[in-house]
Structure 1
Amino acid sequence: MTEGGSYILKRGFDFIVALMALIVLSPIMAVTAILVRWKLGSPVLFKQQRPGLHGKPFYLYKFRTMTEEQDENGKLLPDHLRLTPFGQFLRKYSLDELPQLFNVLKGDISLVGPRPLLMEYLELYTPEQARRHEVKPGITGWAQVNGRNAISWEEKFKLDVWYVDNQSFWLDLKILFLTIIKVFKSEGISHEGHVTMPFFKGEKKDKDEAM
């Protein structure tokens, strides 16, 4: 299949599956939104700018999982202090990720691809790691079904680049199937000692701190 044909197939599949998922999951999303409003307050959605295809920024949407608690200086408390048991439940079963289906409909992301990380990471990647932006980011990806947040940044980026070089419609189907299994098993939600992943500081700094 030509590159253009592969893009049309992937985009069509993304749109149809995301639309069907939104219809089927709308009751769950409605209940989740009500509970987030009740337990965590406004806003219900967490909105943050992330890099998309070729690093182009877009706004990613999630259900909030943390409070807005601040210290005496008006600075947000560390993540582990703001993450509530309810927020942990949402993350455990990936319910916080459901609003990203709207991002898929818009074409910001795909169902499958490297996870969109923080904008400030762009200048920290090596040229090889930056190749993860040669495809659209995704709700789930090869790194997510091979360790998720339990693996190191270096391992995660190698898996992302492997996906870039080996992507196919059948690989996407495999990743989606494995994702469903991982969600029910609640595997790889956090890195050791962190609620998700430690902040990426670049390959050189990470190696220096490990010495």
Structure 2
Amino acid sequence: MGRGVNCVLAFAALAAMALPMALIGLLVLLFLGRPVLFRQARAGLGGRPFDLVKFRTMHDACDASGQALPDHARTPAMGRLLRRSRLDELPELWNILRGDMALVGPRPLLPDTIAALGTAGLLRSSVRPGITGLAQVSGNTLLAIEEKLALDLHYVREWSVALDLWIMVQTPLMMIRGERIDSGLLEKAHAGGHRRQR
């Protein structure tokens, strides 16, 4: 989908979700404290860094030596709920309006992670990162890193408006029924990658 369509849809979503986002922000403030929003540099189109904005899902608990506890120990039930429901990603609609992201695309990774991927990272960064993507509706957390990358590159190679619309339809269905690995699509993604390497 074009940039204009992404902006219109993101603006409409922000208007519709303004009250729920305000409520989520209040709950984050009460249960996790400040800052309400989590910001982190991620790689965008062409590998250019931008500040990703999400609702905070972890607190700042440290051990006796002052080191931060592992992520799972710092993520309370509310944070896990926000992540599982993807509600923590609603502020990324602002990133779409700013031109950093799109509704659909590979999830934005850290700049160092993209750089370490080499040519695969360059190909992956040839499109704007998205709030949802092919890997997210095809298994997401159930997938290995290599499988996610294969699906991301398959999305870049096979991009079409129809594919974007299919992913947008599958996203709420995945949130309702839970994550499931799409073995057929994963095989197709791996096969497409092997053909390109020949």
- What is the TM-score when the length of structure 2 is the normalising length? 0.87
Structure 2 spans left out of the alignment, 5+ residues? 181-198
Range that drifts further, 85-94 or 33-42 = 85-94
Select which of 147, 150, 166 maps to 1:158.
150
| Runs of 4+ that moved beyond 4 A | none
- Asked if the contact 2:102–2:128 (Cα under 8 Å) also holds between the matched residues in 1, the reply is yes
How far apart are residue 131 of structure 1 and its match?
1.3
1:94-141 CA-partner distances (Å, limit 9, x unpaired): 110000000011110000000001222123214235411111100011
Distance of 1:25 and 1:104 partners within structure 2: 15
How far apart are residue 169 of structure 1 and its match?
1.2
Change (3 A) 1:27 1:186: farther
Select which of 77, 96, 110 maps to 2:69.
77
Select which of 104, 109, 129 maps to 2:101.
109
Residue in 1 aligned with 2:90?
98
Does 2:137 align with 1:133? no
The percentage of aligned residue pairs carrying the same residue is 45
Residue in 2 aligned with 1:44?
36
Residue in 1 aligned with 2:191?
none
Select which of 49, 54, 58 maps to 1:66.
58
RMSD of the alignment, in Å? 1.2
- Asked if the contact 2:60–2:68 (Cα under 8 Å) also holds between the matched residues in 1, the reply is yes
1:7-36 CA-partner distances (Å, limit 9, x unpaired): xx5111100110000001111100000000
How far apart are residue 187 of structure 1 and its match?
2.0
1:26-81 CA-partner distances (Å, limit 9, x unpaired): 11100000000000000000000000011100000000111111122322110010
- Asked if the contact 2:114–2:121 (Cα under 8 Å) also holds between the matched residues in 1, the reply is no
Structure 1 spans left out of the alignment, 5+ residues? 1-8, 189-211
The number of residues matched between the two structures is 180
Distance of 1:33 and 1:177 partners within structure 2: 27
- Partner of 1:111, secondary structure, is strand
1:72 corresponds to which letter in structure 2?
A
Distance of 1:187 and 1:55 partners within structure 2: 28
Select which of 161, 165, 176 maps to 2:168.
176
Change (3 A) 1:158 1:129: farther
